[in-house]
Amino acid sequence: MIGLKRDQVASAKRIVVKVGSSSISGENSEQITPLVDALAEAYGRGTEVVLISSGAVATGMPFLQLDERPVDVATQQAAASVGQNVLIFRYQESLDRYEIAAGTVLLTEGDLLNEPHRSNTRRALNRLLDLRILPVVNENDTVAVYGLRFGSNDRLAALVATLISADLLIMLSDVDALYTKPPHLPGAEKLEVIAADDPLTDFEFSSSGATGVGTGGASTKVVAARLATNAGTAVLVTSTELATAALRGEQVGTWFEPVEGEAERALL
């Protein structure tokens, strides 16, 4: 298997895009519109696009009159239940401008790791893409068992990208790329390309995001990127503001080269 090259992004057949909570909730909810513009541009040139969207809990918090992310599972589930409904409405309202229909897919870890759920999930996603529906995927936070999450939606995105043999996974957050250390620290240098065999042993990656509403940080993106690249899917990490440039194949963010050869797309 020959993995996607950076200059081939604009011609990729199938792309998974993951966006973090902090990018599309709260004061940043207006970023949904330019994000949809970027997705629609790729969709318009024939690319099959899957959106992995965090943000259900964060979006639901104001409706529960919560100023901070709840710590107990039951309240997290309640916020997710309300927020998922609002989040999908916002995406579909924006997609209506392009006459694109969204399909909601809520998953638990077992849906991606255990048969027959895994095969059923693959079949459903493939059929949605065949029908030119844009799947919007999130964890089924309302019923998820293990602390509400896969660890982060970065891992969910990598598992979905692997499941459907995506050419590229783009992970969007509030940081433009990965750096050798947290970007606010002195001496932090931007990582533009990470080779498939780079052990990344000399870098310091944060384990949490910059805001209090998300669950992922640079370290979760690195782990997720390795899951995807080991299965032959290229990965690009950049900011939500650069989504259009990323989907056009411009030189933005951090590019993880995929492993060449016969990639193993079995259980991760």
Binding-site entries:
18, 54, 141, 153, 173-174
> Which pairing describes strands 190-191 and 102-107: parallel, antiparallel, or unpaired?
unpaired
Binding residues for substrate: 54, 141, 153
Two structure tokens written together for 193: 């390309």
> Amino acid letter at 116?
P
Local structure of residue 265 (DSSP, 8 states): -
* Binding-site positions for ATP: 18, 173-174
CB 107 within 8 A of CB 139: yes
Q: How far apart are CA 234 and CA 228, in angstroms?
A: 7
Cβ pair 177, 205 in contact under 8 A: no
Which uninterrupted H or E stretch holds 92? helix 73-95
